[in-house]
Structure 1
Amino acid sequence: MISDEVRVDVKLFNLAGALTSEIQRDNLEPTFDVNVKLEEIEREVDEAAFKFTIVMETKPSVVRFDVNGVAEIYGKSEDIDKLLEVDPETKVPYLLKRIYQRIFVSIFLLSGVMNVPHPPPDLLFLSIKKAKEEKTEKTDEKV
């Protein structure tokens, strides 16, 4: 996937963080559950726009981050289609990776202000790896 062939502009409309408990947050390394909604809202020959919503919650419950906005994509139609494909290794669409790369810094800064753990920069990829590991463990238990 050649990323230089397509330009992705990400516009954040909302970035919110909310404490979900009073747990002592020092030295806490929680895991993050991620829910994503990606919806095409406009499509033309050399551009497309997608509305996205990303919700991240920690386990144990400490903080919840809500992010939404629009990703505008510019490039040749076939290159845009490639960006919408799912990475076979991580099972995450290439577009979602690009969006997360753009919004990570904002989430990182917000978590610092709130004095809560921040999600890792490769969170979307870790979620897939963890799911694969859990599936492997369950398969091993059945044998």
Structure 2
Amino acid sequence: MEEIKWFSKKLEELSARELHKLLQFRVSVFVVEQNCPYQECDDKDLKAIHLFGQNRNGEIVACARILPPGVSYSEPSVGRVAVHADFRMGGIGNEVMRKTIRFIEEFYNEKTIRISAQQYLKQFYSDLGFEQVSEMYLEDDIPHIEMLRRSN
């Protein structure tokens, strides 16, 4: 497996080039690949910690957006989790989520995390300790469920 270098930065800590690459990557996955036109960049990016991994060529291969408590939910939350198509099924999704969970537990000193997950990824998130806590709902015409992770 290719070595990935991981970063976690607030918006103001990102260089212009990093921000461009990050947003370009997210749009390529969530808007273009999923054929889902929606406002991908929103004001939550201003409050987020952006966690992303780059390969040795500096290309972003995975990312997640960590939101502090009170932005989307009363708990910290994770969204915009994406893995480059060429790196899927290689454990990078698991790695980005484990790093995200660890970051939230250490940075926010929180043990509960809430997410809005695409329904088809329910098992992936369940394997990471998340439990479904809502009925299915449509977000941008894609089936989603809320999930909660409570660690000891």
Calculate the TM-score normalised by the size of structure 2: 0.33
Q: Which protein is richer in strand relative to its size?
A: 1
Choose 1 or 2 for highest CA Rg.
1
Structure of higher RCO (CA pairs closer than 8 Å, 6+ residues apart): 1
